[in-house]
């Protein structure tokens, strides 16, 4: 994921803003340009945006992938990212967003939930970190706090399922619940996209 994000950013630098605009998530266009939901997770607004997200992905993602396994980690990351897009679609429907921040916030929420379920630390420092970043997202312009919030909620929900279904006998229930969360956030994105595309004459 880090390598892909770096490669996409290099392409953004070379190809310019018109290329970046095709990668960003924009709810009114998602229904007719479905790749945006995926590409927006790998595109970034600048080098510091990229470095911050990739550092957070390295720190939290590495530990979560070792704990959950590659498949569960990929599901967590993807659903968190789509959860961020769902929140943007609901709260800031005409905004255009790029970056892995929604997915990163999902990882931070998951790290907290899973650490607590395993009897780890109380996670006060992580909660403070998340809180500070949420406030920064609200205060600073051109930062999608909506994506942060959506990713946070989706990531926490998936992690809660993982923490309650660790036993092998519950794997079926785990899969069903995680798929259900994924379908829900994706349905929100598609529903809002269709609604907005119809309203703005995109379709």
Check if the beta carbon of residue 144 is closer than 8 Å to that of residue 92: yes
Active site residue 44: no
With residue 59 as reference, give the H or E element that holds it: none
Active site residue 101: yes
From 144, 136, 31, 142, select the one nearest 81 (Cα to Cα): 144
DSSP-assigned beta bridge partners for residue 26: 96
The number of angstroms, rounded, from the C-alpha of 160 to the middle of its chain's C-alpha atoms is 16
Check if the beta carbon of residue 62 is closer than 8 Å to that of residue 92: no
Set 148, 167, 169, 193: catalytic member:
148
Set 40, 80, 89, 101: catalytic member:
101
DSSP-assigned beta bridge partners for residue 97: 25
Check if the beta carbon of residue 103 is closer than 8 Å to that of residue 81: yes
The Cα 176–Cα 42 span in angstroms is 27
Check if the beta carbon of residue 41 is closer than 8 Å to that of residue 103: yes
Write out the catalytic residue numbers.
Answer: 101, 148
């Amino acid at each position: 994921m880090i390598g892909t994000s770096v490669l996409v950013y290099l392409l953004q630098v070379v190809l310019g803003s018109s290329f970046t605009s095709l990668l960003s998530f924009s709810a009114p266009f998602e229904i007719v340009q479905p790749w945006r939901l995926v590409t927006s997770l790998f595109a970034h607004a600048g080098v510091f945006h990229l470095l911050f997200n990739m550092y957070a992905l390295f720190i939290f993602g590495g530990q979560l992938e070792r704990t959950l396994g590659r498949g569960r980690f990929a599901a967590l990351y993807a659903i968190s990212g789509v959860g961020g897009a769902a929140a943007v679609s609901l709260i800031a429907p005409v905004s255009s967003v790029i970056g892995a921040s929604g997915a990163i916030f999902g990882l931070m929420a998951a790290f907290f939930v899973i650490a607590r379920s395993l009897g780890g630390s109380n996670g006060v420092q992580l909660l403070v970190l998340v809180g500070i970043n949420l406030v920064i997202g609200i205060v600073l312009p051109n930062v999608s706090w909506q994506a942060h919030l959506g990713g946070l909620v989706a990531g926490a929900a998936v992690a809660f399922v993982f923490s309650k279904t660790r036993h092998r006998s519950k794997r079926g229930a785990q899969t069903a619940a995680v798929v259900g969360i994924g379908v829900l956030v994706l349905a929100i994105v598609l529903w809002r996209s269709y609604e907005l595309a119809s309203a703005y004459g995109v379709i």
